[in-house]
């Protein structure tokens, strides 16, 4: 049986991203979303989730961009003098590999990010992380322990399988290779599991309709997770997050009639964590 979990990352990043995720769920094949609980849009996102009945919600654990949930003095090795997280994964990795980051602070901050959702009445169904940092040596076990602590049944394993999509840039190929080498071999039994397959890493921010249809047609048997980034670009997204993502194009792909027909034709079961 082919079961597909279509997950939108970056819920809560900006109002426009939230609107795109809501549209992809209401009008398309999206089944779940991963929530950045540290942003200024927490309460707006919480109100939106109450209108999106049935959407699977997970926590997008973050150490990059924005401000921590805990006070900066509690997570001093994770923050800048201004009290914010480092602005990019490159800056975080430089500090991490230089030994300037305390794992205990990461554990405390990630626990606070999960707890913020739980205390607001949202029970997370899965955990993953912004920029996939939870697969770093020493951090996978932190995410896994938090999943068990909060009764979360799934943790993302961003080990993409299958051939590279046509035209994948070398930089994205290298990222995929690095992630593949970092990903551990998870247990096959127990209260916390990983999906059998993960897709969308190579096309992050650029999953158009032809790419989506190709993924659907090549979907293997078992549980697969498709990582997506729908959204409607707003002023904040254009100003603060110059990642080069085509948020609107991903929204169009996920809400297209063609994609919905293909899911039905192929007998793919859409599910959530």
Question: For residue range 29-66, what is the model confidence (pLDDT) as tens digits?
Answer: 999 999 999 999 999 999 999 999 999 999 999 999 99
Ramachandran category for residue 10: left, alpha or beta (phi over 0 → left; psi -120 to 50 → alpha): left
Measured distance between the N- and C-terminal CA atoms of the chain, rounded to whole angstroms: 16
Name the pLDDT band for 244 (thresholds 50, 70, 90). Answer: confident
| Burial status of residue 145 (CB atoms within 10 A of its CB: 0-12, 13-18, 19 or more) | middle
Q: Which CATH class is domain 2-271?
A: alpha beta
Handedness of CA 135, 245, 259, 270 (dihedral sign): positive
Does the model's pTM come out above 0.85?
Answer: yes
Q: Nearest-CA neighbor of 58 among 31, 30, 34, 25?
A: 34
Question: For residue range 247-263, what is the model confidence (pLDDT) as tens digits?
Answer: 999 999 999 999 999 99
């Amino acid at each position: 049986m082919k079961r597909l979990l279509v997950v939108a990352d970056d819920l809560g990043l900006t109002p426009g991203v939230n609107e795109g995720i809501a549209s992809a769920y209401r009008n398309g094949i999206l089944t779940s979303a991963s929530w950045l609980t540290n942003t200024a849009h927490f309460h707006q996102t919480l109100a939106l989730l109450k209108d999106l009945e049935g959407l699977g919600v997970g926590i997008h654990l973050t150490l990059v961009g924005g401000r921590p949930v805990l006070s900066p003095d509690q997570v001093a090795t994770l923050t800048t003098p201004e009290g914010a997280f480092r602005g990019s994964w490159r800056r975080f990795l430089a500090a991490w590999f230089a030994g300037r980051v305390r794992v205990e602070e990461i554990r405390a901050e990630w626990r606070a990010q999960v707890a913020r959702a739980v205390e607001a009445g949202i029970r997370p169904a899965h955990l993953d992380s912004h920029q996939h940092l939870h697969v770093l040596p020493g951090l996978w076990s932190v995410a896994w322990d938090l999943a068990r602590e909060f009764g979360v049944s799934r943790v993302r394993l961003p080990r993409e399988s299958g051939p590279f999509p046509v035209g994948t840039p070398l930089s994205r190929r290298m990222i995929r290779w690095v992630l593949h080498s970092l990903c551990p071999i998870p247990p096959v039994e127990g209260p916390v599991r990983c999906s059998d397959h993960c897709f969308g890493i190579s096309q992050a921010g650029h999953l158009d309709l032809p790419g989506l249809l190709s993924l659907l047609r090549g979907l293997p048997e078992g549980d697969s997770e498709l990582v997506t980034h729908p959204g409607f670009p707003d002023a904040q997204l254009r100003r603060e997050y110059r990642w080069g993502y085509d948020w609107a194009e991903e929204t169009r792909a996920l809400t297209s009639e063609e994609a919905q027909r293909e899911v039905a034709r192929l007998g793919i079961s859409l599910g959530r964590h």
